[in-house]
């Protein structure tokens, strides 16, 4: 560069207007996806927290283990994929006595959608429950967050999964979490009484058994005396 000439501010690698436009669009798409991904990782409730009891009762999940998944709207491609994935696993969920409930708001309801799938669908009026537990929206607020919870019989959250793009994974991961839930009391008793309970039962019954034996011996002694 000759003395007195100004340094060029051109790109290091020359590109046409079309190429520069495509590069800018690519950067925008990548940046948006990264932002949405970060937002989707911000979940509402955490493992160990209690799901709203009123909502569980209203949706028929009070006192039973359940999968509660929030989605956007009936008939949308990703939401349909999610509902189908849960329906394909309903035999497994039923075998575990785990109820599956899909939740959307009134605007997301489409006629006859719920009839196609073997699970329960409910309406979250005005996104009341969604907002109360703090499920974040995706795509700058354009879409409701796609979030799945697994709760035990006490309503305690044991698993949370949030992913707007991997709709089919919600059912797979929820089933794994459901399989890890403790068995119902009846099943636990069917497997045998724990040794600790056996010891407690023996401790309680021992005095009663001894008392019955003492009465029997006394009655026998009285009968012998009468014969003499």
Catalytic residues, by residue number, are 79
Chain centroid to Cα 71, Å, comes to 13
For 127-204, list the strands marked E by DSSP.
147-151, 157-162
Give strand pairing partners of 120. Answer: 101
CA atoms in the 13 A half-sphere facing the CB of 40: 24
Give strand pairing partners of 147. Answer: 70, 162
Cα–Cα dist 123/184, whole Å: 28
Cα–Cα distances in Å, from 34 out to 27, 28, 43? Answer: 11, 10, 16
């Amino acid at each position: 560069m000759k003395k007195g000439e100004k340094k060029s501010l051109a790109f290091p690698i020359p590109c046409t207007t079309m190429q520069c436009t495509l590069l800018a669009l690519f950067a925008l798409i990548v940046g948006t996806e990264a932002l949405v991904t970060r937002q989707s990782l911000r979940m509402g409730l955490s493992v160990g927290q209690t799901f709203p009891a009123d909502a569980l009762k209203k949706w028929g999940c009070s006192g039973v283990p359940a999968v509660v998944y929030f989605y956007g709207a009936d008939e949308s491609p990703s939401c349909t994929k999610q509902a189908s994935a849960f329906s394909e696993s309903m035999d497994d969920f039923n075998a575990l006595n785990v109820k599956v409930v899909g939740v959307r708001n009134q605007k997301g309801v489409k006629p006859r959608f719920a009839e196609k799938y073997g699970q329960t669908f409910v309406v979250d009026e005005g996104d009341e429950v969604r907002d109360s537990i703090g499920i974040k929206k995706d795509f700058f607020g354009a879409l409701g967050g796609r979030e799945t919870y697994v709760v035990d019989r006490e309503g305690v959250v044991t698993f949370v999964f949030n992913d707007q793009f991997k709709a089919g994974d919600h059912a797979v991961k929820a089933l794994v979490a459901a399989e890890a839930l403790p068995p119902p009391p009846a099943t636990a008793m069917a497997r045998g009484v724990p040794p600790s309970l056996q010891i407690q039962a023996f401790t309680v019954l021992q005095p009663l058994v001894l008392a019955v034996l003492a009465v029997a011996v006394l009655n026998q002694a009285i009968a012998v005396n009468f014969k003499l």
